[in-house]
């Protein structure tokens, strides 16, 4: 039935795509997206699936997005799960990657497709990316309602896994990238999807459970040369439970800074879970590779491998919500739960050999 007559729910949270100009700059315009979609013939095409729009009230600039708003999106999907074959979340670009990762952990199992999209310029602008992103997202959902599962982001002709995407450009239509996992699909003349990169949904689909995020206290801290240990101590101070540590290179940190390492040791002893990720867009945090990384491991830091900061934060929120003890969170954060990381055993063999060879020179 879904293949012949799919029906899609558009969850409109706000963001640039439906904004209007004001004296203060672009602001979300209530009813604007619905009106523009209704008046433009391209959105009435028989090639598109049938769709309904469920708009937030009030609409949000995504810079104002909070975990409570993630819950509103997740509950809108869960509560209407039986009535629709797929879900399109229209979202601002600034925090879209955070929401994509959060929804990936919040909704489980997820046997119908959830796509997030948005735009760098409003739909009402003459030269905008909004119409292409919106139309192609609807076409993808209408074409593959039975094969796409999980959360994805579609932007500028690329389909990305929700837990792998990050915003990389504030000025280009190519605003997003998936640095450590290939794009799932490409929209050119054809809509091409690499199905081996897509989680296989269960059939028949089961309504997902929703895990609320936001009760835990988690944070992120970016290392920089010359950092004062007081800055790190403030981030690690109670009531924090988990911290994503954005490290240099392949998971490196100032190993000769005793006060820095002591702050990490003290926090770990108190039960704070500290996860190392890389500052570079591409690559993995391998704490076994260099002596500076090993110093972090000895202080209790665990590797987040090739997770984005957005995915690592959402994962910490999720794991603490399960009431796991800190040691169990440290273990599970290194496991691949929603496609958010590449386990060490799956690293390409040539790269693995290079790492071992380098490690031999320590």
The CATH number of residue 79's host domain is: 3.40.50.1170
What pLDDT does 20 receive?
86
Same domain, residue pair 249 and 322: yes
Same domain, residue pair 250 and 101: no
Same domain, residue pair 158 and 275: no
Over the stretch 98-151, which tens digit does the pLDDT of each residue have?
Answer: 999 999 999 999 999 999 999 999 999 999 999 999 999 999 999 999 999 999
Tell me: pLDDT of 357 over 80.
Answer: no
What pLDDT does 351 receive?
55
Same domain, residue pair 206 and 231: no
Same domain, residue pair 127 and 184: yes
Residue 2 lies in a domain: no
Look up the pTM and report it: 0.93
Determine whether the annotation assigns residue 104 to a binding site.
no
Residue 94 lies in a domain: yes
- The CATH number of the domain where 254 resides is what? 3.40.50.40
Same domain, residue pair 183 and 229: no
User: Which position among 13, 32, 93, 99 bears the catalytic label?
Assistant: 93
Report how far residue 322's alpha carbon sits from residue 291's, in angstroms, rounded to the nearest whole number: 34
End-to-end CA distance of the chain: 61
User: Which position among 16, 268, 308, 309 bears the catalytic label?
Assistant: 16
Examine the residue annotation and report whether 93 is marked as an active-site residue of this protein.
Answer: yes
Same domain, residue pair 234 and 186: no
Same domain, residue pair 170 and 237: no
Same domain, residue pair 246 and 190: no
Same domain, residue pair 184 and 229: no
Pairing mode of beta strands 113-117, 107-108: unpaired
Determine whether the annotation assigns residue 32 to a binding site.
no
CA 42, 48, 51, 57 dihedral sign is: negative
Same domain, residue pair 51 and 114: yes
Determine whether the annotation assigns residue 62 to a binding site.
yes
Nearest 5°: CA angle at 115, between 113 and 121?
165
Q: For the purposes of burial, counting CB atoms within 10 Å of the CB of 88, is it exposed (0-12), middle (13-18) or buried (19 or more)?
A: buried
Residue 175 lies in a domain: yes
Tokens at 250, concatenated:
């392949």
In the predicted model, what is the mean pLDDT of the chain?
Answer: 93
Last residue of a domain, one of 210, 234, 267: 210
Last residue of a domain, one of 210, 229, 249: 210
Same domain, residue pair 222 and 206: no
Percent of the chain at pLDDT > 90 equals 86
Domain of 38 in residue numbering reads as: 7-210
Tokens at 287, concatenated:
């704490």
Over the stretch 208-257, which tens digit does the pLDDT of each residue have?
Answer: 999 999 999 999 999 999 999 999 999 999 999 999 999 999 999 999 99
Residue 1 lies in a domain: no
Q: Report the number of distinct structural domains present in the chain.
A: 2
Over the stretch 243-292, which tens digit does the pLDDT of each residue have?
Answer: 999 999 999 999 999 999 999 999 999 999 999 999 999 999 999 888 88
């Amino acid at each position: 039935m879904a293949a012949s007559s799919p029906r899609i729910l558009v969850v409109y949270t706000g963001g640039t795509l439906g904004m209007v100009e004001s004296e203060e700059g672009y602001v979300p315009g209530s009813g604007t997206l619905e009106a523009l979609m209704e008046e433009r013939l391209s959105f009435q095409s028989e090639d598109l699936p049938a769709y309904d729009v469920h708009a937030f009230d009030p609409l949000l600039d995504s810079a104002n997005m909070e975990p409570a708003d993630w819950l509103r999106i997740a509950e809108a999907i869960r509560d209407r799960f039986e009535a629709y074959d797929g879900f399109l979340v229209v979202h601002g670009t600034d925090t879209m990657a955070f929401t994509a990762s959060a929804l990936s952990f919040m909704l489980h199992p997820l046997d119908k497709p959830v796509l997030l999209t948005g735009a760098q310029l409003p739909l009402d602008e003459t030269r905008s990316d909004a119409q292409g992103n919106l139309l192609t997202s609807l076409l993808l959902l209408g074409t593959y309602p039975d094969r796409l599962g999980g959360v994805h982001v579609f932007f500028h002709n690329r389909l990305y896994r929700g837990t792998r995407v990050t915003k990389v450009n504030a000025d280009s239509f190519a605003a997003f990238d998936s640095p450590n996992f290939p794009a799932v699909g490409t929209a050119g003349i054809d809509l091409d999807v690499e199905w081996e990169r897509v989680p296989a949904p269960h059939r028949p689909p089961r309504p997902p459970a929703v895990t609320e995020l936001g009760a835990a206290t988690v944070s992120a801290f970016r290392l920089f040369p010359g950092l004062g240990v007081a800055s790190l101590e403030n981030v690690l101070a109670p009531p924090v439970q988990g911290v994503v540590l954005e490290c240099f290179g392949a998971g490196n940190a100032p190993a000769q800074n005793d006060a820095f390492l002591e702050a990490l040791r003290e926090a770990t002893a108190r039960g704070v879970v500290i996860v190392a990720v890389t500052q570079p867009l591409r690559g993995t945090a391998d704490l076994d590779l260099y002596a500076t990384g090993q110093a972090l491991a000895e202080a209790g830091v665990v590797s987040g491998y090739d997770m984005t900061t957005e995915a690592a934060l959402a994962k910490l929120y999720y794991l603490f919500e399960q009431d796991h003890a800190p040691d169990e969170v440290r273990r599970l954060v290194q496991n691949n739960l929603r496609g958010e990381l590449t386990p060490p055993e799956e690293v390409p063999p040539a790269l693995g050999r290079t790492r071992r060879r380098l490690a031999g020179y320590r």
